[in-house]
Structure 1
Amino acid sequence: MCTKKIPSAKVGAKIVEWYSCILSSSYEEATLLKHEVEQMLKRMEEDDKILAYYSLVAYRHDNMMDGDNRSISLEEELNHVEKDMDQYLKYLYYFVSGQNEYNNQRYRSAVKLFRKAERMLEFVDDKTEEYEFYMYMGIAYYRINQYLLATSYLEQAETGFRRLNFPKKYLNSKQVLGAIYSELKEYDKAEDILNEALQECTFPLYSGIILRTLGLSMFSQKKYDSAVSFFEKSLDLEEYNDSIFGMRSRTELAHTLFKLNKHEEAQKILKGAKASANYYNELEFKVRCQFIEGTYVCNDQKMVDNAIQQLNKAGLHFEVCELSEELIEIYEEKGDNKNIIKYFKSAYQGKINQTLLGDDQV
């Protein structure tokens, strides 16, 4: 029987917890966490960065436990090495902490931690690691709608990964750049970037992600038949379909089919999307499913408003704006001025909140 691998990000978060105990000299808790981390590492998916982080924290742990009993003679040389090690360890601490915040959809908090990591970037003596930082920073800025900053970092990441010949990473960076231009409504440029990425992609999972992004671009332009085609093509790829990204495409496919008044088919797909969103515990898409169901199945305004409130609370302001604008269109067709004004205010506040760069998200 094959044992399920533990995501490296989860192990990284546990190492952060362990290192925090070392910093506070919590000997017993640090020892317990060290054992827990070592057990997790046996089942962790491959990730050299996390292994390096573990090695450095284990070194610090041993130093803490040995105390003054350490017998080292090469003091000056060791002090120099340890100084650089300390800076690199701080970099990894903030970077891995930022990844954990990002994975838990606390994007502003992730940016705050990545900015701290950036101050130690000069101590990272590895171009792959440097470009990975740029990629993560760019994607985090993208998630809080800071497109100018996101583009700057992502372009550096794409160029760097191309030089190093890491196709998955430069395709990922390029795909997000395409998504940014689509959200800025520069659709021709977005589709050029995404189609170029699709043509050079030989990895089913990444091809699915690019196809989904093209589907989202079509949806934004109200080209719903084309959007359905792209979402379905993404789900035809087995590796993509069986992943968290497949859940996202199913949610968006259901949404698009409702827009095309194909309610029976849409409800069937929405049911599967809801189950997947709950399985992956993906807040944004659990809420999107709630919005879709409240709008197109139950006609329940309280359910819809609760979905928008949850997105606001999570700091997903682009999504608030996007869904509020959809509601404006729906109520315009009904001639319901009261609700038009209500959701216009919601969309406007969403646009204002997108410009905020505060680190208050917890």
Structure 2
Amino acid sequence: MNSTLPSEEVGAKIVEWHSCIIASSYKDAALLKKEVELMLEDMEENDKLLAYYSLIEYRHQTMINGNNGILTNEIQFNFKETSLDHYLKYLYYFVSGQYEFNKKRYRTAVKMFRKAERLLEHVQDDAEEAEFLSYIGYAYYRINQYLFSMSYLEQAETAFRRLNFVKKALNCKQVLGAIYSELENYDKAELCLKEILEESTYPSINGITLRALGLNMFAQSNYESAVKYFKQSLEVKEHKKSYYGMASLADLSHSLFKLNDVAAALEVFKKAKEGALYHKDSEFISRCKFIEGAYIKKDTSVIDEAINELNSEGLYYEVCELAAEMVEISEEKGDNESALKYSKLAYRGRVNQNLIGDGQE
């Protein structure tokens, strides 16, 4: 005879599974996922718990596969307003924001996270709240809203340290270091990033931090030091094999072209372009196109195409950065007309950085 499990019992197991996902306990999360799936077969009918399960299952897939999860938009919340219903709504908006973030639709992600934030009081879990603070901080960073981003990331770092989630705390601190650099507070950025290297025992974080140090040096036109850090980042096996390794290759090739080390730059550039295409990353496909137009083909139409692509993606900091580089190149050539054109593009990128806007649907 088939027994029917109380939905509360299944819900408690999903909460346990969810906690393992937050803590990045891959093995325990996988075991609990199987337990939950078996329990669902015998669970009494409960649409709320099935909705909860579908959201947590998406978070599990995101943890395992990065941005390859699929989120259905068919989940509806037509229940009587209870504390659990508020929490389910929170989860819906949070996971929807996470999905948009993973698809690089950062403005839409911020919208979802802001809706989730209104329901944050119904999250009775410090780890879950810290996770939310970090995600909204990352999303604000990606749309260049630095003051908002820093506020959330500082809170998230403090919360993760209180919970002894050191790796997640260091992730927050690494983004804070990147923000200092983008705000041209280069000394503070370098100090912050070097503190991470002193504390971190995680190869993936070390690789990303070394790349961030390289970017900090590149922004100061210290290309020799930038090359050193990018090469060090690629010596970290876990970093080299990752998406961020592809990014380091692109940054390294760019720095080598700046140093006029053309032979080495071309060799690295080929790998970087292959990596960008392999990862289907629109930002770095456009960045490679820019490098190709500026330093290999010396073709402004290719450069303009790359900048326009970045602009259409809402990557205004990158537009500003590359347009400013073209101002410098044009001025060195005495091409005042082009310098003026790219100055206008850089200015427009700077203005757009300060607009949250309705953004990418």
| TM-score over 0.5 (shorter chain) | yes
| Partner residue in 1 for 2:269 | 270
Write the distance in 2 (CA, Å) between the matches of 1:279 and 1:125. Answer: 41
Q: Secondary structure at the match of 1:261?
A: coil
Q: Does 1:242 align with 2:210?
A: no
- Following superposition, the deviation at residue 341 of structure 1 comes to 0.4
Aligned counterpart, 1:190:
189
Shift of 1:360: 2.7
| Cα distance in 1, alignment partners of residues 359 and 174 from structure 2 | 28
Whole-Å Cα distance in 2 between the matches of residues 85 and 123 of structure 1? Answer: 8
Q: Write the distance in 1 (CA, Å) between the matches of 2:85 and 2:279.
A: 36
TM-fit CA distance, 1:46: 5.4
Q: Which has the higher contact order (CA 8 A, sep 6+)?
A: 1
What's the counterpart of residue 135 of structure 2? 136
Residue in 1 aligned with 2:312?
313
- What is the Cα deviation at residue 85 of structure 1? 1.9
> Once the two structures are aligned, what percentage of the paired residues are identical?
55
C-alpha separation in 2, matches of 1:313 and 1:275: 23
Shift of 1:347: 0.3
| Alignment match, 1:230 | 229
| In 2: Cα distance, 1:346 partner to 1:46 partner | 38
TM-score normalised by L of structure 1: 0.79
Question: Corresponding residue for 1:152?
Answer: 151
1:270-349 aligned within 5 A: 270-349=269-348
Letter in 1 for 2:111: K
Q: Which runs of 5+ in 1 are unaligned?
A: 1-7, 9-29, 48-53, 65-78
1:46-65 CA-partner distances (Å, limit 9, x unpaired): 57xxxxxx9xx9xx89x99x
Unaligned runs of 5+ in 2: 1-20, 22-46, 65-70
How many angstroms does 1:45 deviate by?
6.8
- Structure 1 residue 83: Cα displacement: 1.6
| 1:101-144 CA distance string (max 9 Å, x none) | 11111111111111011111111111111011111111111111
Query: Match of 1:226, as an amino acid?
Result: S
- What are the Cα deviations for residues 227-267 of structure 1, in whole angstroms up to 9, with x where unaligned? 01111111001011100010110010010000000111111
Show CA shifts across 1:40-98 (max 9, x none). 88x94757xxxxxx9xx9xx89x99xxxxxxxxxxxxxx98x72222111111111111
The residue that corresponds to 1:121 in the other structure is 120
User: TM-score, normalized by length of structure 2?
Assistant: 0.79
Question: In structure 2, what residue type is equivalent to 1:234?
Answer: S
Shift of residue 275, structure 1, vs aligned partner: 1.0
Q: After superposition, what is the alpha-carbon deviation per residue over 1:131-189, rounded to whole angstroms, capped at 9, x for unaligned? A: 11111111111111111111100000011111111111000000000000000001111
Residue correspondences, number: 303
Question: How far apart in 2 are the matches of 1:85 and 1:231?
Answer: 47
Look up the SS of the partner of 1:208 in the other structure.
Answer: helix
- Mapped to 1, the partners of 2:299 and 2:335 lie a distance apart of 15
**272-281 or 198-207: bigger deviation:** 272-281
Give the structure 2 partner of residue 170 of structure 1. 169
Partner of 2:26: none
Query: What's the Cα RMSD here?
Result: 2.6
**How far does residue 274 in structure 1 lie from its aligned partner after superposition?**
1.0
